[in-house]
Amino acid sequence: MPERAYFCRMSQTAYDVIVIGGGIVGLSTAYKLNLHHPHLKICVLEKENRVSAHQTGRNSGVLHSGIYYKPGSYKAKNCVEGRREMVAFAREHGIGHDVCGKLIVATHERELAHLEKVYDHGLRNGVEDLRMVGPETIREIEPFCTGIKAIHVGCTGIIDFPAVCEVLARLIREKFNGSEVKLEHEVLDFVKSEEQTTVVTSKGNYQTRYLVNCSGLQCDRIAKKDQVDPGMKIVGFRGDYYELTPEAQHKVKHLIYPVPDPQFPFLGVHFTRMIHHPTECGPNAVFVFKREGYGKTDFSLSDTLDALSYGGTWKLFFKHWQFGLDEYRRAFSKRLFLERLRRLLPSLTMEDIVPGRAGVRAMALDKDGNMIDDFKMVHRHNALHVLNAPSPAATAGLAIGKAVNDMAEQYFNLD
């Protein structure tokens, strides 16, 4: 009997594909799978009571251009294509966004060589609307910003990523018969058989032919539950933000970024005019003692032991101990945080900023303490595991969803 016919006779808790994770990557993946295969019955399982609860809903809300990434990388390709698609998606569905442009500003001569390299990457990656500008043009665009040279990236913008996720969840539920997004369903285990997998959750069991793991901060743990060695460990880094007070909002008109330090995967402390919130300043990057710990003192013994029992974590610490120490000092000192911000906006004062929110970034580390820079997806039997989807994953979400669909078509029988 054909596999599809056998599958359709199973219980109502059976699906063709279960996607784990209700962030933008998981929802985009489910949506793209259903767009290309409308007959599939797909279920997204999210452990929180809302979609986009973690990395997607706690990032800076920036539509990245694709200028920073190594030419030819998945990051570069998916960011450029994904940004254009994300803007079109936002326009189609009335999602708040603004292609306002940004400046990447050099404040010291030692940064000029890397600024030129970033500009070259942007050109090679096909990023549109780029230009080098001098101090006068910097002041015209951002009157309170001081720099010696900058890249103006006209195609960068801001967007409401949680609203994108809400629309994706609604489209999955309404557009495709039998597809669902289930909240408060934490995945606990998998039970494998020859033709299907039973996904054990906190609210019952579900059968599926195929699995796609898009669980972000928990992706390595989900992979291990599926008996997959991820070859890496997710280590969390919290990013704290300050906000400009209402009286200081006029000091930032668009987005202002420093030249990134090529030794680190972080873009540095920057200024982001948000869609629905005050202008944010940040983030820093500090090791967390709880994977989903957004407070400065949040602690989980099991998460801490998990991270510190991994050799790659200690090798990362030893390589970058000075950077880590400086970031921790700034995390607990408004004065030190302000000093970093004033490199770009010298007139900023203590009264101009107030503490804001925080996010946690999933940093994928190999056993040697190296940060895995590009997107990483692994196939095993009836499962695909998205094991590294760092920034610009939100911008590139729809493009990543298409890439996962292409892999699924290669490895799975989706007919």
Helix axes 74-93, 397-411, angle to 10 degrees: 110
Give, in order, the Cα–Cα distances in Å from 176 to each of 168, 179, 278.
12, 6, 37
pLDDT at residue 286 in the model: 92
pLDDT by residue (tens digit) across 163-200?
Answer: 999 999 999 999 999 999 999 999 999 999 888 999 99
Spatial neighbors of 151 by CB under 8 A, at least 6 apart, are 67, 103, 104, 115, 118, 119, 122, 130, 131, 132, 133
Give, in order, the Cα–Cα distances in Å from 126 to each of 40, 94, 119.
35, 27, 11
Asked whether the whole model's pTM tops 0.75, one would answer yes
Chain-centroid distance of CA 357 in Å reads 16
* Longest CA span, the chain: 74
pLDDT at residue 289 in the model: 96
pLDDT at residue 12 in the model: 46
Asked if 239 contacts 360 with a C-beta cutoff of 8 angstroms, the reply is yes
Six token digits for residue 177: 């018969």
User: Which among 3, 11, 23, 20 is positioned nearest to 360, based on CA atoms?
Assistant: 23
pLDDT at residue 123 in the model: 98
pLDDT at residue 262 in the model: 77
pLDDT at residue 42 in the model: 98
Mean pLDDT across the chain, nearest whole number? 93
pLDDT at residue 11 in the model: 42
pLDDT at residue 346 in the model: 97
Side chain identity at residue 272, one-letter code: T
Side chain identity at residue 331, one-letter code: A
pLDDT at residue 2 in the model: 39
Chain-centroid distance of CA 247 in Å reads 31
Domains of the chain: 3-55+162-232+373-411 (3.50.50.60), 233-246+279-371 (no CATH)
User: Which among 54, 65, 58 is positioned nearest to 254, based on CA atoms?
Assistant: 65
Share of the chain above pLDDT 90, in %: 87
- Cα–Cα distance measured from residue 140 to residue 146, given in angstroms and rounded to the nearest whole number: 11
Three-class SS of 83-148 = HHHHHHHHHHHCCCEECCCEEEEECCHHHHHHHHHHHHHHHHCCCCCEEEECHHHHHHHCCCCCCC
Q: How many CB atoms sit inside 10 A of residue 61's CB?
A: 24
pLDDT by residue (tens digit) across 54-105?
Answer: 999 999 899 999 999 999 999 999 999 999 999 999 999 999 999 999 999 9
